[in-house]
Amino acid sequence: MKKTIIVFSGDLDRAMAAFIIANGAAAMGDDVTMFFTFWGLNILRKPEKVKVKKGFLQAMFGWMMPRGAGKLGLSKMNFGGMGASMMKSVMKQKNVATLPELIATAKEQEIKMIACTMSMDVMGITEEEMIDGLEFAGVATYLGEADEANVNLFI
């Protein structure tokens, strides 16, 4: 059965939870759709700066928000990034997959990753700034997917 996850949050811990659930479901044979919106878009930004013409406020948002899965902080106890580093060190020790690895696995398992076009427009994030392999759509597409699914989460 299909599963959908709205990834609203751009925190490292919540992003990891989303991908662990999504990859787990895909491994068990489910179709999975992830819909990235608001801060969740940051998870899928390319790490390198991409030259794009933007309005002032959009440029500000783009500059202040983390660029990609390697730059995210924790939702709690981040302490300016130290918490996120600690968490990554522990995960390395424990041989837990990193977020970039989880994203790669999601692609391999053909999880559908949709970036919300309305949020992209508001936050001034363009398609060129996002990693490859995404679809771009709005809330109606999400709702169509959710109607076919038996588990729908908002993270």
143 touching a copy of itself, by CB under 8 A: yes
Residue 109, interface with a copy of itself (CB under 8 A)? no
Q: Which of 36, 52, 87, 136 binds a copy of itself (CB under 8 A)?
A: 87
**CA distance linking residue 5 with residue 126, whole number of Å:** 22
Please select the residue that binds a copy of itself; options are 31, 50, 52, 65, rule is CB under 8 A: 65
Please report whether residue 90 would count as binding a copy of itself according to CB under 8 A. Answer: yes
| C-beta of 102 vs 113, nearer to a copy of itself | 102
Start-to-end Cα distance in the chain = 20
b/e burial code for range 62-74 (CB count within 10 A of at least 16 → b): beebbbbbebbbb
137 binds a copy of itself (CB under 8 A): no
Rounded to an integer, what distance in angstroms lies between the CA atom of residue 103 and that of residue 44? 9
Number of residues engaging a copy of itself in binding (CB under 8 A): 52
| CB nearer to a copy of itself: pick between 65 and 134 | 65
Q: What whole-number distance in Å separates Cα of residue 4 and Cα of residue 7?
A: 10
Range 43-62, binding a copy of itself (CB under 8 A): 55, 57-58, 60-61
Distance CA 50, CA 147 (A): 36
d(CA 5, CA 50): 28
Question: What six digits make up the tokens of 92?
Answer: 């390395």
Residues forming the site for a copy of itself (CB under 8 A): 1, 6, 8, 10, 13-14, 17, 20-21, 24-25, 28, 30, 37-39, 55, 57-58, 60-61, 64-65, 75-77, 86-87, 89-91, 93-94, 96, 118, 121-124, 139-140, 142-143, 146-147, 149-155
